[in-house]
Amino acid sequence: MARGQARDFRLDMVEIGRHLYDRKLVVGVAGNISCRLRRNRILITATGICLGKMKDEDLAIVDLDGNLLEGAKEPSSEVRMHLAVYKARPDVEGIVHTHSIYASALAYMKIHLKPVNPESQYILGDVPIVPYFRFGTEELAQAVHERLGNFRGVLLEQHGVLAVGENLWEATYTAELIEEVAKISYLVELLERLERPR
């Protein structure tokens, strides 16, 4: 990969980190982002960093086995989850993992997103729920791989959202759309309960 291309990806990741943080899809040191580079390498956020204050040096490059190739910091604790997706989905070039509030709440309650608007029906489609596994584990990575299939994202029980795309921005927009649909789904669920006879 040309140095200029790698630099562009780094700039995108820093910008996306701030974008997600500003929209409160991540807080503190939660969440992570990655993208596929050439020669089976992955650019991923480092562990324990705030996406809203991320700098170029807060990124690591790993191979598809998770070995650190470049960077002064260890890759995200969720590197296994990202790698499982990249290995299974050659079409995926970007991954965004958020801890967005409404999607996390629905995932915790095992409530599926509802087809509440055209975007949820025609762009997003189904968003499976991945059962709880401890973060950073091979079990979680395997469960995400199995549930994601060819979908654009999954809800992670007690954990948040994983969204994928043909590029970083598409994955970001998918994560935003999942949260928007989760908000509407929450309100619909609430209103349905209020309307039910007692």
Q: Give the Cα separation of 125 and 127 in Å (integer).
A: 7
Measured CA to CA, the distance from residue 53 to residue 105 in angstroms comes to 26
Residue with tokens 């989905």: 89
Q: Is 78 a catalytic residue?
A: yes
Best CA proximity match to 176, nearest among 131, 110, 140, 124? 124
Q: Count the residues in the chain.
A: 198
| Three-state DSSP class for residue 42 | strand
Return the sign of the alpha-carbon dihedral for residues 53, 24, 139, 92: negative
List the beta strands (DSSP E) in 12-156.
32-37, 41-45, 59-63, 68-70, 94-98, 129-130, 153-156
Residue tagged 């629905």 (tokens): 106
- Give me the catalytic one of 70, 74, 78, 139: 78
Query: Which sequence positions are flagged as catalytic?
Result: 78
